[in-house]
Every structure is written in C-alpha cells, then in structure tokens.
C-alpha cells in the first residue's frame, strides 16, 4: 500500500475495545501505519482478551498503551501523565471497534480506564465505529448513547449488516478496513484547503445503448476520476461524483450520481455545476451514439450490420456556455486522450473548451493509463504553462490536480 498524503505523519490514537471485531483493528493499524500515520494504540482490558498488545506493537512499531496506572517512562508512555501526553499531539481519536460498554462510558463521561480518560482530554475529532453482536446495537440504550455522542460533535460510523459470530444476523458488524480508512480521511481532511467548496468530478466511459442488451463504450475504467474525487474529499471539499463507471467504491464523503449515457451525464453535470467551485471532466464521454435505440434485441441476419451513429453533445462546450452566463463553475478542468501530437492537440482542446487546466494522457502508453493504477500526464494551463508528471499513481496525480485547483481558487 502506498502512503496517503493526507495521513503522512498524522497522529492517530486507535482505541480498541473488547469485541470479536478487534481482529479487524489489527489490519487497520497495519494499513494506517503503511499509509504514513503514526498510531498510538490504546487497548481496553477486555480488548486484551481478544488481541495481544504485542501484535499492535509489532505492526505500528510503537509502544501500545493499556494501563492507566503505569504512567512513566518505564511503560513507554509519552508523558508522566499518560492520557494528557497522548491527547495533546493527536489529530484523531478513533475508537474501533467500540463496544456498548465503551460507548456508554464515552457518552456519560466516565473516566475509569486509559481510553475513556483520554477521550475526555482530547481536542481533536472523535471518530467512533460501534460493533456488537445480536440486537445490542438497536437497543434504546445504545442508540441513545450514540445520539448523545453525535450531538456533542463525535463522528459515528454506521455498523454494517451481516452475520455475527453468534450466528445471528443484524446490524452491528465493524466495516472493513477500506471503509474505515475512508471515514478517517473524511474526518481528518474536513477542514482542508477546499472546505466549503463544491467540486464536481466526472468519471468512467459512458455507455450508449444499441438495444436492450448491447451498448457502445470505451476502455475508461473511471479510476483516475475516482482518485481525483478522493483527493478532493481529502482536501475537505463537498464532492459530487458523476460516474458511469462500474464496480469502483465511492470515496466516503462523496455523493455519487450514477449515469450511463453522454446525455444523462450532460444533464447531471449542468445541474450540479450551477453552484460549484470547480468541474473536473475526467470521464471518457462518447462522441457518437447509435441514431436509434432498438426496443427489441437486434437479431442476426445478414453477414454485416450497419449501425448509423450520430454525434453526442459536447459536455464541456455546454459548460463553457453556462459558465459565460452564470460564472459557474468557477474553474473548469478537462482531460485529453491523445494517441499522437499530445501537447498540440491538448492545447487546442484547452483553448476551444475554455478550460483553466487540461490533463493530457498519451493513450498509447502500455504501462499507464486505461485500467492501470498508474498514469503519466502533461498538465497544461491557460497561461501556456506545461508540467510533465512522470509515471506515478493515479492517487498522486489526483492530489496534484486538486492542489492546482486550490491554487486557482485562491
Ligand atoms: N468531453 C465532453 N463531451 C464530449 C466529449 C468529451 O465534455 N462529448 C470532454 C472529456 O470529458 C474531456 C475532454 O472533453 O475532458 C476531451 O475529451 P477527448 O475525448 O480527449 O476529446 P474530444 O473533445 O472528444 O475530441 P476528439 O475525440 O476529437 O479528440
């Protein structure tokens, strides 16, 4: 796993309680460390019945805390008053899994172990992922405690539905690491550079129907657009992701608008950019669609089949006209997929579509681009500036684009 720019050197206190889901906190501790965060793990007494402090210590490379009463350098605690030392430096306190008992303690201000006392001492955000078996999560007592915590500004992660260790089925399962990481990013990034800005991102290749079973599409998978949407969430933006891509997880915190054809994407874009700070058109929009969509499945008959195609509307050109009238979106960013004369063709698109930035892709590259996790691009701006980004992850390119948009909005 590569590091996540937002999490690099962030201090996260990971509070783990005594739930069978504690094993998932082990994976989370590992992924957070790989992402570049410094984690201080605090285990409750019950948690230690499920997982050993040594497991977390080995994964985080840092001491693990559990005993309120053994403060001091001998136990590796960061200050002679443990909870104050931990709380002072923290960017986030995450309690995962949070048991019904710890939720009750946090809701009512109890301070009888290192985790509950640390929760009272922090000034950073508190993110809580409840996990419990059977009908416990639905009980009025637990629900009231969750509500109390929410009212006080804590962020709660809704547990998932599924089968419990007991064999019962219900709501109470701790989400998987990827989901937990998404919530962590949303909470840590929320006051970022783009806080209070709405960003609209498009992603994926559009699908133009031929008949009820067939459509025309292209090789775009949407990965670059989703990486941009995640980078925008990391920067604190309100993100609307207009996507025709299939099978990619929506970044936590982004609002997904699912579309399929170029026309449905055009409608969604024009409606959503009306009050937005920036539009990033990463989608690969079809230039042509079948002239008519057959209501019935087209049967094979002759040796060849002619399928008349007609032009779709150019979404960025429609946005340019709307922007000239209304001033929104404040910034427009486009992509260019080119197989020859990369910079010349891209520069023409930047001018004709009235863009502030254009990200040009050489689609002939075999080690980057379509479906890959890596990309290699040239970024053009309206002042004639050119910035080459050598082969790197789509996440890094997404972060770069968001940084440039931040600069333009300044
Ligand atoms: N685009 C658009 N509407 C279309 C086609 C493309 O808004 N109907 C956007 C894409 O999302 C991208 C930019 O325009 O941001 C350039 O797309 P690209 O496919 O590279 O170029 P086209 O404008 O379609 O021109 P050509 O296919 O002739 O290269």
How close is the Cα of 257 to the center of ligand 1, in Å? Answer: 20
How high is the pLDDT of residue 365? 83
How close is the Cα of 310 to the center of ligand 1, in Å? Answer: 15
Task: Compute the distance between CA of residue 250 and CA of residue 271 in angstroms, rounded to an integer.
Answer: 20
Whether 167 is covered by a domain: the verdict is yes
How close is the Cα of 160 to the center of ligand 1, in Å? Answer: 39
Whether 298 is covered by a domain: the verdict is no
Q: At what angle do helices 315-326 and 262-272 cross, to 10 degrees?
A: 20
How high is the pLDDT of residue 19? 95
Handedness of CA 69, 74, 80, 82 (dihedral sign): negative
CB 83 within 8 A of CB 117: yes
Q: Are residues 11 and 133 in the same domain?
A: yes
- Pocket residue to mutate for ligand 1, from 336, 341, 353, 358, most atoms within 8 A of Cβ: 336
Task: Compute the distance between CA of residue 157 and CA of residue 58 in angstroms, rounded to an integer.
Answer: 27
How high is the pLDDT of residue 293? 97
Measured from the CB, is residue 333 less than 6 Å from ligand 1? no
The tokens for 225 are 């657009």
How high is the pLDDT of residue 74? 44
Last residue of some domain: 135, 167, 188? Answer: 188
Task: Compute the distance between CA of residue 132 and CA of residue 82 in angstroms, rounded to an integer.
Answer: 28
DSSP string, 161-207: EEE-TTS-EEEEEPPPHHHHHHHHHHHHHTTSTTTT-EEEEEESB--
How high is the pLDDT of residue 372? 85
Q: Are residues 180 and 216 in the same domain?
A: no
- Pocket residue to mutate for ligand 1, from 219, 267, 309, 337, most atoms within 8 A of Cβ: 337
Q: Are residues 172 and 210 in the same domain?
A: no
Q: Are residues 212 and 140 in the same domain?
A: no
Residues of the domain holding 279: 198-293+308-409
DSSP 8-state secondary structure symbol assigned to residue 284: B
Q: How many domains does the chain have?
A: 2
Note down pLDDT in tens along the chain; length 410 residues. 889 999 999 999 999 999 999 999 999 999 999 999 999 999 999 999 999 999 999 999 999 998 877 654 444 555 556 677 789 889 999 999 999 999 999 999 999 999 999 999 999 999 999 999 889 999 999 999 999 999 999 999 999 999 998 899 999 999 999 999 999 999 999 999 999 999 999 999 999 999 999 999 999 999 999 999 999 999 999 999 999 999 999 999 999 999 999 999 999 999 999 999 999 999 999 999 999 999 999 999 889 999 999 999 999 999 999 999 999 999 999 999 999 999 999 999 999 999 999 999 988 888 877 878 899 999 999 999 999 999 999 999 999 999 999 999 99
Measured from the CB, is residue 279 less than 6 Å from ligand 1? no
Q: Which residue has the tokens 């699912």?
A: 258
Q: Are residues 226 and 263 in the same domain?
A: yes
Pairing mode of beta strands 374-381, 357-362: antiparallel
Measured from the CB, is residue 200 less than 6 Å from ligand 1? no
How close is the Cα of 336 to the center of ligand 1, in Å? Answer: 7
Whether 300 is covered by a domain: the verdict is no
User: How would you class 148 by CB atoms within 10 Å of its CB: exposed for 0-12, middle for 13-18, buried for 19 or more?
Assistant: middle
Q: What is the CATH number of the domain that holds 349?
A: 3.40.50.10300
CB 60 within 8 A of CB 13: no
How close is the Cα of 360 to the center of ligand 1, in Å? Answer: 11
Q: Are residues 174 and 235 in the same domain?
A: no
Whether 356 is covered by a domain: the verdict is yes
Q: Are residues 247 and 126 in the same domain?
A: no
Pairing mode of beta strands 64-65, 92-98: unpaired
How close is the Cα of 327 to the center of ligand 1, in Å? Answer: 22
Q: Are residues 328 and 405 in the same domain?
A: yes
User: How would you class 204 by CB atoms within 10 Å of its CB: exposed for 0-12, middle for 13-18, buried for 19 or more?
Assistant: buried
Handedness of CA 137, 142, 147, 153 (dihedral sign): negative
* Those residues with Cβ within 8 angstroms of residue 222's Cβ, 6 or more apart along the chain or in another chain: 203, 204, 205, 243, 244, 245, 246, 248, 282, 283
Q: Is 218 a catalytic residue?
A: yes
Measured from the CB, is residue 344 less than 6 Å from ligand 1? no
Residue minimizing CA distance to atom 20 of ligand 1:
336
Last residue of some domain: 154, 188, 222? Answer: 188
Measured from the CB, is residue 105 less than 6 Å from ligand 1? no
Query: Helix %, strand %, coil % for the chain, to 5?
Result: 35, 25, 40
Q: What is the CATH number of the domain that holds 127?
A: 3.40.50.1950
Beta strands in 282-330 (DSSP E): 288-290, 309-311
Measured from the CB, is residue 228 less than 6 Å from ligand 1? no
Measured from the CB, is residue 348 less than 6 Å from ligand 1? no
26, 378, 273: which is closest to 174 by C-alpha? Answer: 26
Measured from the CB, is residue 373 less than 6 Å from ligand 1? no
Whether 254 is covered by a domain: the verdict is yes
Residues in the chain: 410
Q: Residue 256: beta bridge partners?
A: 241
Q: Are residues 168 and 214 in the same domain?
A: no
Q: Are residues 343 and 285 in the same domain?
A: yes
- Pocket residue to mutate for ligand 1, from 315, 345, 364, 401, most atoms within 8 A of Cβ: 315
Measured from the CB, is residue 263 less than 6 Å from ligand 1? no
266, 284, 283: which is closest to 322 by C-alpha? Answer: 266
The tokens for 171 are 């709501």
How high is the pLDDT of residue 302? 85
Q: Are residues 318 and 346 in the same domain?
A: yes
Which among 101, 135, 145, 218 is annotated as catalytic? 218
Task: Quick: pLDDT tens for 115-134.
Answer: 999 999 999 999 999 999 88
Last residue of some domain: 188, 214, 242? Answer: 188
How close is the Cα of 349 to the center of ligand 1, in Å? Answer: 8
């Amino acid at each position: 796993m590569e590091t996540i720019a937002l999490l690099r050197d962030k201090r996260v206190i990971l509070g783990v309680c005594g739930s069978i889901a504690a094993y998932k906190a082990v994976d989370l501790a590992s992924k957070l460390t790989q992402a570049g965060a410094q984690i201080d793990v605090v285990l409750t007494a019950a948690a230690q019945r499920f997982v050993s402090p040594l497991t977390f210590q080995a994964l985080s490379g840092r001491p693990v805390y559990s005993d309120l009463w053994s403060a001091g350098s001998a136990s590796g605690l960061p200050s002679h008053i443990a909870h104050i030392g931990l709380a002072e430096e923290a960017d986030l306190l995450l309690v995962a899994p949070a048991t019904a008992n710890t939720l009750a303690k946090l809701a009512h201000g109890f301070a009888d172990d290192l985790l509950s006392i640390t929760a009272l001492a922090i000034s950073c955000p508190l993110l809580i992922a409840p996990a419990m078996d059977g009908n416990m999560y639905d009980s009025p007592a637990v629900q009231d405690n969750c509500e109390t915590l929410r009212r006080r500004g804590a962020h709660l992660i809704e547990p998932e539905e599924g089968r419990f260790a007991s064999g019962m089925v219900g709501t109470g399962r701790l989400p998987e690491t990827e989901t937990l990481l998404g919530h962590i990013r949303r909470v840590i990034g929320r006051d970022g550079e783009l806080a209070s800005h709405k960003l609209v991102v498009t992603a994926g290749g559009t699908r133009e129907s031929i008949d009820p079973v067939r459509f025309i599409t292209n090789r775009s998978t949407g990965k670059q657009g989703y990486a941009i949407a995640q980078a925008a969430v990391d920067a604190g933006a309100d993100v609307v992701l207009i996507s025709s891509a299939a099978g990619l997880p929506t970044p936590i915190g982004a609002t997904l608008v699912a579309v399929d054809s170029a026309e449905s994407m055009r409608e969604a874009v024009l409606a959503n950019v009306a009050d937005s700070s920036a539009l990033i058109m990463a989608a690969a929009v079809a230039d042509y669609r079948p002239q008519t969509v057959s209501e019935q499945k087209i049967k094979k008959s002759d040796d060849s089949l002619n399928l008349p195609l007609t032009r779709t509307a150019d979404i960025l050109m429609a946005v340019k006209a709307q922007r000239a009238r209304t001033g929104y979106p404040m910034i427009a960013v486009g992509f260019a997929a080119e197989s020859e004369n990369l910079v010349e063709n891209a520069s023409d698109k930047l001018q004709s579509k009235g863009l502030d930035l254009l990200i040009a892709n050489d689609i002939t590259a075999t080690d980057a681009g379509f479906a890959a996790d890596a990309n290699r691009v040239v970024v053009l701006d309206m002042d004639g500036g050119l910035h080459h980004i050598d082969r790197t992850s789509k996440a890094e390119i997404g972060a770069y684009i968001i940084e440039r948009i931040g600069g333009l909005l300044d």
